[in-house]
Structures are given as structure tokens and as C-alpha cells.
Amino acid sequence: MDKPNYNLKFLPLFENDLLEITDYITNTLKNPPAAHRLVDDIELAIVKRLIKCLSALRPIHQQKEENILTTKSM
């Protein structure tokens, strides 16, 4: 049996907040490496959470697909 294929999409609110935070760290604090580490740490935390709890997640069905977490079975 093939494993399901998952497609992760982020809410625009998350993307905007992360962009503002990384811009602040990069431009105001003048610390681009810290901004990159933050993004790397967030990505790693998301992946770890998904691996650990994937079976507990259910797809959310909304009209605007670009704003949701969706799943597709292969």
C-alpha cells in the first residue's frame, strides 16, 4: 500500500508575520544569519510536528484552497 501524499500550505497570516519578523531581524537588527536560523528552526519544528502527529491531522476543506492544509492520497 502506498503512503499518502501530503501537501502543506501556510496561511497568509503566518507568511506575512514571518516575513515581517525576518525583515526586522535582517534590516533593523542587522543580523541576517539570525533571521535565517529562525526560519530554519521554524521549518524543522513544523516537520518534526508533522512526522510525530500526522495521523492526528485531518484535512480542512474550504473554498480557497491556497489558505489551507490539504491532503491527497496517491
pLDDT digits (tens, 9 = 90+) for 7-60: 778 899 999 999 999 999 999 999 999 999 999 999 999 888 888 877 666 665
Q: What is the pTM of this model?
A: 0.65
Residues 6+ apart with CB under 8 A from 25: 31, 32, 34, 35, 38
Q: Give me the pLDDT at residue 69, please.
A: 47
Position 74 confidence tier, pLDDT thresholds 50, 70, 90: very low
Which H or E run includes 70? strand 70-72
30: left (phi over 0), alpha (psi -120 to 50) or beta: left
